[in-house]
Amino acid sequence: MRVVRLTDARAKRFKPSAREYSVQDRAVPSLSLRVYPSGTKTWTCIVDGRKVSLGRVELMPVEDARRECLRLQIDGIAPGKDLPTYRAFVEDVWRETWSARCKPSTVSLQDRILTRQLLPAFGGLRLDRITRKAIEDWFNAYSASAPGGANHALKLLRQSLNFAIERGLIESNPAGCIPPNRRPRLTRFLSRDEIARLNASLDRHANGRGSVQADMIRLLLLTGCRRNEITRLKRREVDGSRLRLVDSKTGPRTVYLSPEARAIIERRMTIAPGEYLFPSPRTPEKPVSGELRLWYRIRREIGIEDVRLHDLRHSYASQSVMAGVPLPVVSKLLGHSQCAMTLRYTHAADKDVEAAAERVGARIAELLECG
């Protein structure tokens, strides 16, 4: 840790970096300046082995921070004294540590979880007053209606309280031992016969009112893209036989188009007049929003009502693997940052496994006979 004599002017000159860091004060060694990646700067004091946040630099001059730090060292901290409420801790300290390095969509999602779930349940409680039973009661009530959402909220609560432990505000995490809801393993993907039936159904809807949605559904199957990557596709992201997506789930990525997918894109380029290839019918300057209702109709028509729209992505990955495409290449096609993520999508149909077992068995039988 760097040690300097801190002044108000010097504190303002310290720049944020990729990770938070601290600068110790030479005049009062227990005082330090903490700089977060977002640019937020706070005074921190070590009292009885605990890190205590004194406040933001722009709201407290360094001399006031030194006096408060020395006072706390002399008086000590009574149990629970000076501990913030969960709301104050989240909004003033914790949120600053992650919001700057997350995508806007992630920040928006986590803010909704905080606003709708965590703050109403725990916002008014002091950090040391949040008990395991209170968390269990909230989690069980939320899980009754939205088990997946409850898991996401529990994870966020656990992360925030772990951060409070790191700052020396609490000693243990009451959410740490609460198990999340078990989720069914989703391995559904389309068989060859189902893909053929889907294609025939899309052909029937290609010239009617559902033609635009039919194009989107077909592109999802042909490219393995996520739904928003197609529904929000912009004209400037089309580059010949490639899509150069500016902001996918994992950041900018390139999608390589097959001739069939490219034909759909080129047709949309001539039909769609504005920025988006699939504009909203009511407000063409915005992308189409909401679920693709045609998908639910097609599912009923061809008898695959257990298949989700996202399972078209699974199907693309599975067919790629069964066609002999190496796993690292499939990972790149899907826009995954790690091959381990791709393993979730690479399932083989029972009939394909059975056929492979027969081929392997026949081969081994030949070798046995030769021996």
Spans of all domains in the chain: 2-82, 87-166, 192-309
Q: Does residue 247 surpass a pLDDT of 70? A: yes
- pLDDT, one tens digit per residue, over 43-95 is 888 877 777 777 778 878 999 999 988 888 777 655 445 678 899 889 877 88
- 46-55, 247-256, 335-344, range with greatest mean pLDDT: 247-256
| End-to-end CA, the chain | 70
Distance CA 74, CA 172 (A): 26
- Please tell me the predicted confidence (pLDDT) of residue 347: 57
pLDDT at residue 349 tops 60 = no
What is the pLDDT, as a whole number, of residue 175? 94
The answer to whether 2-82 and 192-309 have equal CATH topology is no
d(CA 54, CA 68): 8
Q: Which CATH number is 192-309 given?
A: 1.10.443.10
Backbone angles phi, psi at 184, to 5 degrees: -65, 140
How sure is the predictor about 290, in pLDDT bands with cuts at 50, 70 and 90? low
What tens digit of pLDDT does each residue of 163-213 get? 888 777 787 899 988 999 987 665 678 888 999 999 999 999 988 778 889
Q: What integer pLDDT is reported at residue 188 of this predicted model?
A: 77
User: Taking the domain 2-82, which CATH number applies?
Assistant: 3.30.160.390
Q: What is the pTM of this model?
A: 0.57
Mean pLDDT of 307-323: 84
Q: Is the pLDDT of residue 352 over 70?
A: no
Average pLDDT, the chain: 84
Complete DSSP assignment for 75-138: H---TTTTPPBHHHHIIIIIHHHHHTTS-HHHHHHHHHHIIIIIHHHHTTSBGGG--HHHHHHH
Which range among 100-109, 122-131, 204-213 has the greatest average pLDDT?
122-131
Identify whether the C-beta of residue 150 lies closer than 8 Å to the C-beta of residue 142.
Answer: yes
pLDDT the model gives residue 135: 95
Axis-axis angle for helices 147-166, 104-113 (nearest 10): 100
